[in-house]
Copies of this chain bind each other. A is one copy, B any other.
Amino acid sequence: MDFNKLVEQLSKLDYKNLYHNDFFLTWDKSLEELNAIWTVADAIRQLREENKSAKIFDSGLGISIFRDNSTRTRFSFASACNLLGLEIADLDEQKSQIAHGETLMETANMLSFMADVIGIRDDKFIGKGHTYQKEFADSVQEGFEDGVLKQRPTVLSLQCDIDHPTQMMADTLHFAHYFGGFDKLKGKKIAMSWAYSPSYGKPLSVPQGGVGLWTRLGMDVVLAHPEGYEIMDDVNEIAKKNAKESGGSYKVTNDMKEAFKDADIVIPKSWAPYAFMERRTDLYGQGDWDGIDKLEKELLAENANHKDWECTEEMMKLTRNGKALYGHPLPADITGVSCKEGEVAASVFDRYRKELYQEASFKPYIIAAMIFLMKVKDPEAKLNELYTNSTPRLNG
């Protein structure tokens, strides 16, 4: 799209509450705010692809805290920070003194004297991740109000136990580009389906984040999973309410085929049942490692009853004209490639490889857009300035 049109589009949105704010859950934000993020993501992408600098920081730190492994999100956060002029500093909790009984309040303030952004991934334990992120944000807020911090860093969720906002925002921007605009997503059927994986305990943040976001766009959202693999009640309620307001629909089924039937987009992906994750959090809290072991075996046995939940060529044929867009946050468990039996048939995955990589390519821009809108006072003027005055990114 023409750069000026993007800025014009932005100018029509009310997004002023993003300034000096945080990002935890997509449903904390208004749809106009989400649209502003998508628009700025496209604009920053265009700056970069036209070799124009998007640097707004002369110096500053973007601090990442990964309480779980990460490749994609780690490099997306690094790319976004670097593009805007922030240096990345990763907090390795193992090399810190955090184990020594330091409070979160203290850690949060100690990291933040010169931090502009703090990105946190904490997705392993139900009831913990989002809470940790919010407490972190409250801590820096208190430090800011006390005058300890002269500037308050923006806190971004890079995935929690409830939502995976940078992922879902990126995936959705990809869908919009694929179908020709956000207005084209209205009325499209999207199937967020459980799928079998030989691994255990995958986070719920993707299915939850998905249904919590797509129901706001007037889409027909179907969540499919075997009995017992329910997501959080709260998110189910949010999705229902969203669908009502947006004119879309939200349905939960235990039948993968029903979900795939005439779907425009399918996202088959493994996750652990919410109830199971809750028990695991409790056992972990009690330090009951034997109990966790037993629970894991139990879940793997249960999972094995549902190996037929696979995105095969047959399943794809059920979708609209047999040509639904296949999506996945990656890495996927591909049958015969990364595991014996998995979420998706190799031929399906291969056919959509290019789209899957493009889907992933939006994440750095989503993160950059969030930071941009939270740090820049007049984003429209700034974008115009970056586009027009145009320092080359690679001056060679």
A71 within 8 A of B: yes
Interface contact B396-A113, CB-CB below 8 Å? no
Whether the pair A56, B395 counts as a contact (CB closer than 8 A) is yes
Copies of the polypeptide in the assembly: 3
Q: How far is the CB of A347 from chain B (nearest CB, A)?
A: 15
Residue of B nearest to A331 (CB): B102
CB distance from A156 to the nearest CB of B (A): 17
Question: Contact at A70–B96, with CB atoms within 8 Å?
Answer: yes
A56's partner among B57, B107, B396 (CB-CB below 8 A) is B396
* A91 and B78 contact, Cβ closer than 8 Å, known pairs A375-B394, A395-B57: no
Point out the residues of chain B lying under 8 angstroms from A72, CB to CB: 97, 110
Q: Which stretch from A24-32, A79-87, A158-166, A235-243 is at the chain B interface? A: A79-87
Residues of B within 8 A of A55 (CB): 58-59, 395
Interface size class of A (residues with CB under 8 A): 35 or more
A173-203 interface bits toward B, Cβ cutoff 8 Å, 1 = contact, 0 = none: 0000000000000000000000000010000
Say which one of A208-216, A252-260, A295-303, A352-360 lies at the interface with B. Answer: A352-360
A71-B97, A71-B111, A111-B75 known; A60-B146 Cβ under 8 A:
no
Select which of B56, B85, B357, B394 is within 8 A of A109 by beta carbon.
Answer: B357
Chain B residues with Cβ below 8 Å from A249 are: none
A394-B58 contact given A357-B148, A361-B148, CB 8 Å threshold: yes
- Contact between B56 and A394, CB atoms less than 8 A apart: yes
CB–CB A85/B103 < 8 A: no
In the complex, the answer to whether B375 meets A101 with C-beta atoms within 8 Å is no
With A101-B333, A102-B71, A114-B48 as contacts: A395 and B357 at CB distance below 8 Å: no
Q: Is there an interface contact between A391 and B358, defined as CB atoms closer than 8 Å? A: no
Contact bitstring A21-48, B, C-beta under 8 A = 1, else 0: 0000000000000000000000000001
Asked whether, in the complex, the Cβ of B71 is within 8 Å of the Cβ of A96, the reply is: yes
Q: Are A89 and B91 in contact (CB under 8 A)?
A: no
Instruction: List chain B residues, Cβ under 8 A from A56.
Output: 394-396
In the bound complex, do residue B88 and residue A82 qualify as a contact, i.e. CB atoms below 8 Å apart? Answer: no
Interface: A330 (CB within 8 A): yes
Which residues of A101-156 have CB atoms within 8 Å of chain B's CB atoms? 101-103, 105-107, 109-111, 113-116, 143, 146-150
Taking the complex as formed, is A49 at the interface, i.e. its CB lies under 8 A from any CB of chain B? Answer: yes
User: Which of B82, B116, B357, B372 makes the CB contact (< 8 A) with A60?
Assistant: B82
User: CB-nearest residue of chain B relative to A361?
Assistant: B113
Closest to A56 in B: B396
Given contacts A78-B61, A110-B330, A69 and B95 within 8 Å (CB-CB): yes
Q: How many angstroms from the CA of A61 to the CA of B330 in the assembled complex?
A: 22
A59 touches B71 (CB 8 A): no
Knowing A79-B113, A148-B358, the reply to whether A74 touches B53 (Cβ < 8 A) is no
**Given A70-B95, A102-B338, A394-B375, does the pair A114, B79 have CB atoms closer than 8 Å?**
yes
9 contacts between A and B (CB under 8 A): A56-B395, A60-B82, A69-B97, A71-B91, A75-B110, A79-B114, A87-B88, A102-B331, A375-B394
9 closest Cβ pairs, A-B complex: A101-B338, A376-B396, A79-B114, A71-B96, A148-B357, A102-B331, A56-B396, A53-B58, A146-B354
